[in-house]
Structure 1
Amino acid sequence: MTEVSRFRRSVTEHRAAVAELMGRVAARSETLPLRAALGRVLAEDVAAPIDLPPFDNSQMDGYAVRAADLASSEAGARVGLAVARPIAAGTDPAPLAPGTAAPIMTGAALPDGAELVVPIEAAVPETFPAFVVDVGVEYDAGSRVSLPGIGSVGASGAGQYVRRAGSDVGVGARVMAAGERVSARHVGLAAALGLTELPVVAPLRALVIATGEEIVDPGTAPEQGLAPGQIYESNSAMLVAALAEAGAEAVGLRVTSDAPEVFWAQLGEAARRHTPDLILTSGGISAGAYEVVKLALAEAGVEFGAVAMQPGGPQGAGVIELDGHGVPVVAFPGNPVSSYVSFEMFVRPVLAERFGAAPRRRQRARLKAETDSPPGKLQLRRARLTDVAADPAELPSVELLGGPGSHLMYPLAAANALVLVEESTTHVGSGAMVDTLVIGE
Structure 2
Amino acid sequence: MSDTPRRPPLMPLDEALARLLDRAAALGRTEVVSTFDADGRVLAQDAVSALQVPPNDNSSMDGYAVRAADVPAAGTVLPVTQRIAAGHAGVPLVPGSAARIFTGAPMPAGADAVVMQEDTEALDGGAQVRITAVPTAGQWVRAAGEDVTRGAVILRCGERLSPASLGLAAGIGLAELQVAARPRVALFSTGDELVMPGAVPPEQMKPSAIYNSNRFFLRALLLRLGCEVNDLGIVPDDRAATVAALSAAAQDNDLILTSGGVSVGEEDHIKPAVEQLGTLDLWQIAMKPGKPFAYGSIASPSSRRDAPNVGTPPLPPRQAGGEPGRSTVCHFMGLPGNPVSSFVTFLLLVRPFLLKLQGATQTEVPALRLRADFDLSRPDRRREFLRARRNDRGGLDLFTNQSSGVLTSTHWADGLIDHPAGSTIVAGDLVRFIPLSELLA
TM-score using structure 1 length: 0.72
After superposition, what is the alpha-carbon deviation per residue over 1:394-429, rounded to whole angstroms, capped at 9, x for unaligned?
xx244242254x33333343334444453445xx36
CA 1:31–1:370 in 2, change beyond 3 Å: closer, same or farther? same
- Percent of aligned pairs with the same residue? 29
Structure 2 CA distance for aligned equivalents of residues 234 and 412 of structure 1: 12
Q: 1:262 aligns with which of 229, 241, 244?
A: 241
Structure 1 residue 366 corresponds to structure 2 residue 372: yes
Of 313, 335, 340, 2:291 maps to 313
Residue in structure 2 matched with residue 431 of structure 1 by the alignment: 427
Partners of 1:94 and 1:431 lie apart in 2 by 67
Amino acid at match of 1:105: I
2:4 alignment counterpart: none
Q: Cα offset for 1:288?
A: 0.8
The code of the aligned residue for 1:127 comes to A
Deviation per CA, 1:78-128: give whole Å up to 9, x if none: 9999875654443344567x778574423444556x4546759799x9537
Asked if the contact 2:379–2:422 (Cα under 8 Å) also holds between the matched residues in 1, the reply is: no
What's 1:46 paired with?
47
Q: 1:127 aligns with which of 122, 128, 141?
A: 122
Aligned to 1:387: 391
Cα distance, 1:321 vs structure 2: 0.7
Counterparts of 1:264-413 in structure 2 under 5 Å? 264-272=243-251, 275-299=252-276, 300-322=278-300, 323-324=302-303, 325-351=328-354, 355=360, 359=365, 361-366=367-372, 368-375=374-381, 377-381=382-386, 383-387=387-391, 389=393, 396-404=395-403, 406-413=404-411
Q: Paired residue for 2:17?
A: 15
Give yes or no for the alignment of 1:26 onto 2:27: yes
Q: 1:147 to 1:440 in 2, by over 3 A?
A: closer
1:298/1:365 Cα in 2 relative to 1: closer, same or farther (>3 Å)? farther
Aligned with 1:302: secondary structure?
A: strand
Contact 1:315 1:333 in 2 (8 A): yes
- Contact kept, 8 Å, 1:367 with 1:397, in 2: the verdict is yes
Secondary structure in 1 aligned to 2:206? coil
Q: Which amino acid aligns with 2:413?
A: A
1:329 positional shift: 1.0
| 1:368/1:398 contact within 8 Å kept | yes
In 2, distance between residues paired with 1:80 and 1:436? 61
TM-score (norm 2): 0.72
Alpha-carbon separation, structure 2, partners of 1:374 and 1:119 = 65
Structure 2 equivalent of residue 136 of structure 1: none
The one-letter amino acid paired with 1:302 is L
- Cα separation, 2, equivalents of 1:161 and 1:422: 52
Supply the distance in 2 between the matched residues of 1:363 and 1:160 (Cα, whole angstroms).
40
Aligned-partner Cα distance in 2 for 1:414–1:215? 24
Question: Is residue 149 of structure 2 the alignment partner of residue 170 of structure 1?
Answer: yes
Partner SS for 2:258: strand
Could you say if the C-alpha distance between residues 110 and 431 of structure 1 is closer, same or farther in structure 2, counting changes exceeding 3 Å?
Answer: closer
Q: Distance in 2 between matches of 1:319 and 1:58?
A: 59
With over 3 angstroms needed to count, the CA separation of the structure-2 counterparts of 1:296 and 1:385, relative to structure 1, is same
Q: Tell me the residue number matched to 2:216.
A: 237
Alignment-mate amino acid for residue 62 of structure 1: Y
Give me the whole-angstrom Cα distance separating, in 1, the residues matched to 2:345 and 2:136.
65
Matched-pair contact (CA < 8 Å) for 2:86–2:105:
yes
AA in 2 matched with 1:330: M
Aligned partner of 2:200 among 215, 221, 225: 221
Aligned residues: 399
The residue type paired with residue 341 of structure 1 is V
Q: Is residue 2:223 matched to residue 1:253?
A: no
**CA distance in 2: counterparts of 1:297 and 1:290, whole angstroms:** 14
Which letter does structure 1 place at the counterpart of 2:296?
G
Q: Structure 1 residues 119, 128: closer, same or farther in 2, change over 3 A?
A: farther
C-alpha distance in 1, partners of 2:67/2:175? 37
Task: State the alpha-carbon separation in 2 of the partners of residues 379 and 434 from structure 1.
Answer: 15
In structure 1, distance between residues paired with 2:417 and 2:82: 71
SS in 2 for 1:359: coil
* Alignment match, 1:137: none
Structure 1, unmatched stretches of 5+, are 1-5, 134-142
Matched, 1:90 2:87: yes
Q: Quick one: distance in 1 between partners of 2:124 and 2:168?
A: 36
* Deviation, structure 1 residue 233: 1.9
